[in-house]
């Protein structure tokens, strides 16, 4: 049986990356070592071989419906006052309480997903593989070295724990089913609450969540030149109603906050269009933009990786080019 930890956003909807992880689970039935039969304990009669989901905290009708459309037949709903504030240990134990004894437990490779799966792996004695991108009869394939190479591996044991690399899989809906929702009477151990979130400051991450869901992202790299060089790219962001994403050189120099960083150690994004301005295309940056549907490069160097990997490119100074793009947009608006 394959069970997916499902993350929901503040509005109660299933996040994009969780939808990806569910689709991955559904499309890889070989992850079900017992051929897909439901083996879970208290659950009776779920559609055979269907994916099961775990949701912690409030479960909205919208989320139940979305999960049904993604092919989730059973939802384990874990709600408890002590789980209202996030604590990795307590949340992981709640997941472990309903996890199958054999099969696959997985989540998307977000900070939460990574942390919870690692805790769950230790608590169940399972092995874990992070950043998985494919599964077949031979085993698993996952990203290593920031995406420059893939590792083939096999995890032994009855239960395997995985995280799915962001945007390794496009979410796909299937014939909608009505999931069965199971609620539980949980007990949360005091010891698992010492690492509970005390408080959350929302401001900075608004940018970050806008970045991962924006349809258009304008990227800015070292080529911007200085802290004061962002006027044109920010105006373009505004014209597109999109978000700004930056390279690590930009955050490292303190020009922009880390929440805006895209790449291996920043956010992974999947916009309809990514416009990379003055970014060379280092492998660690590319790791964050693989999900972009159209890639545009604006760069002085035609030979740069970003230009070579792009769908469209303009060769030239980004301030001049982006400035002219802004003017053209304003002109066409009339």
Partner 1 sequence: MNILVCIKRVPDIAGSVTLDATGTGIDESGLGHTMSSHEECAVELAIQTAAQAGGTVTVLTLGPAEAVEQLRAAVAVGANDGILVEAADPSVFAPEDIAQVIGDVIRDRAEAGQTFDLVLTGDDAADTGDFQVGIRLAYDLGYPVLTNIQTISVGGAAGGGGERGSGRIEARGIGPVGTEIFSLDLPAVVAVHEGGVDPRYPSITGRMKAKKAQVVEYDAPVPGMGSPRLRLELPEVKASSVTILGEGPEAAPALVDVLEEIGVIRP
Ligand X SMILES: Cc1cc2nc3c(=O)[nH]c(=O)nc-3n(C[C@H](O)[C@H](O)[C@H](O)COP(=O)(O)OP(=O)(O)OC[C@H]3O[C@@H](n4cnc5c(N)ncnc54)[C@H](O)[C@@H]3O)c2cc1C
302 binds partner 1, rule: CB under 8 A: yes
Binders of partner 1 among residues 151 to 180 (CB under 8 A) are 151-156, 163
Partner interacting with residue 121 (select from partner 1, ligand X, none; CB below 5-8 Å by kind): partner 1
Give the residues lining the site for ligand X (CB under 6 A).
146, 221-223, 247-250, 261-266, 278-280, 282, 284-285, 288, 298-301, 304, 317-318
Q: Compare residues 22 and 269 and give the one whose CB is closer to ligand X.
A: 269
Binders of partner 1 among residues 62 to 101 (CB under 8 A) are 86, 88-89
30 binds partner 1, rule: CB under 8 A: no
Q: How far is the CB of 245 from ligand X (least distance, A)?
A: 9
The DSSP code sequence of 241-275 is: T-EEEE-HHHHHTTSS-GGGBBSTTSB----SEEE
Q: How far is the CB of 24 from partner 1 (least distance, A)?
A: 18
Query: Which whole-number Å values give the CA distances from 57 to 68, 112, 181, 183, in the listed order?
Result: 18, 14, 13, 11
Distance, CA of 244 to CA of 177 (rounded, Å): 38
49 binds partner 1, rule: CB under 8 A: no
The tokens for 232 are 């044109």
Query: Which whole-number Å values give the CA distances from 114 to 7, 35, 105, 236, 264, in the listed order?
Result: 12, 27, 12, 34, 14
Q: How far is the CB of 275 from ligand X (least distance, A)?
A: 12
Q: Compare residues 41 and 333 and give the one whose CB is closer to partner 1.
A: 333
Residue 234: Cβ within 10 Å count: 13
Contact in structure between 159 and 105 (CB atoms under 8 Å): yes
Q: How far is the CB of 48 from partner 1 (least distance, A)?
A: 29
Partner interacting with residue 84 (select from ligand X, partner 1, none; CB below 5-8 Å by kind): none
Q: How far is the CB of 219 from ligand X (least distance, A)?
A: 9
Distance, CA of 48 to CA of 29 (rounded, Å): 12
For the chain, the first-to-last Cα distance in angstroms comes to: 58
Q: Compare residues 53 and 291 and give the one whose CB is closer to ligand X.
A: 291
Distance, CA of 118 to CA of 197 (rounded, Å): 18
Tokens 């304990």 appear where?
41
Contact with partner 1 (CB under 8 A): which of 14, 72, 95, 216?
Answer: 216
235 binds partner 1, rule: CB under 8 A: no
Q: How far is the CB of 174 from partner 1 (least distance, A)?
A: 26
DSSP label at residue 186: -
Per-residue binding letters, 261-300, with partner 1 (x by CB under 8 A): x--xx------xx--------xx----------x-xx---
Q: How far is the CB of 78 from ligand X (least distance, A)?
A: 32
Total residues belonging to the chain: 334
């Amino acid at each position: 049986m394959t069970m997916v930890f499902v993350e929901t956003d503040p509005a109660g909807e299933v996040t994009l990356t969780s939808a990806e992880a569910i689709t991955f689970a559904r499309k890889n039935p070989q992850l079900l070592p017992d051929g897909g039969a439901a083996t879970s304990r208290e659950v009776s009669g779920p559609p055979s071989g269907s994916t099961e989901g775990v949701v912690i905290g409030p479960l909205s009708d919208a989320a139940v419906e979305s999960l049904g459309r993604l092919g989730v037949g059973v939802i384990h709903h874990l709600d408890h006052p002590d789980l209202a504030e996030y604590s990795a240990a307590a949340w992981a134990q709640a997941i472990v309480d309903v996890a199958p004894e054999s099969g696959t437990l997985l989540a998307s490779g977000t900070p939460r997903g990574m942390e919870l799966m690692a805790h769950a792996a230790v608590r169940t004695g399972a092995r874990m593989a992070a950043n998985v991108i494919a599964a077949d009869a031979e085993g698993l394939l996952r990203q290593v070295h920031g995406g420059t190479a893939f590792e083939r591996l096999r995890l032994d044991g009855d239960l395997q724990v995985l995280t799915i690399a962001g945007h390794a899989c496009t979410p796909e809906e299937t014939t909608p089913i009505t999931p069965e929702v199971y609620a539980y009477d949980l007990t949360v151990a005091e010891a698992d609450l010492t690492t509970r979130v005390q408080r959350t400051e929302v401001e900075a991450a608004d940018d970050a969540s806008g970045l991962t869901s924006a349809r258009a992202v304008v990227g800015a790299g070292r080529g911007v030149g200085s802290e004061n060089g962002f006027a044109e790219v920010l105006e373009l962001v505004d014209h597109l109603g999109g978000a700004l994403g930056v390279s690590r050189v930009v955050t490292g120099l303190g020009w922009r906050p880390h929440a805006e960083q895209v790449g291996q150690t920043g956010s992974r994004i999947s916009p309809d269009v990514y416009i990379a301005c003055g970014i060379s295309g280092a492998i660690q940056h590319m790791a964050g933009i693989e999900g972009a549907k159209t890639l545009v490069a604006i760069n002085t160097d035609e030979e740069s990786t970003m230009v070579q990997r792009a769908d469209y490119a303009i060769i030239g100074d980004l301030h001049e080019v982006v400035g002219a793009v802004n003017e053209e947009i304003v002109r066409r608006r009339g």
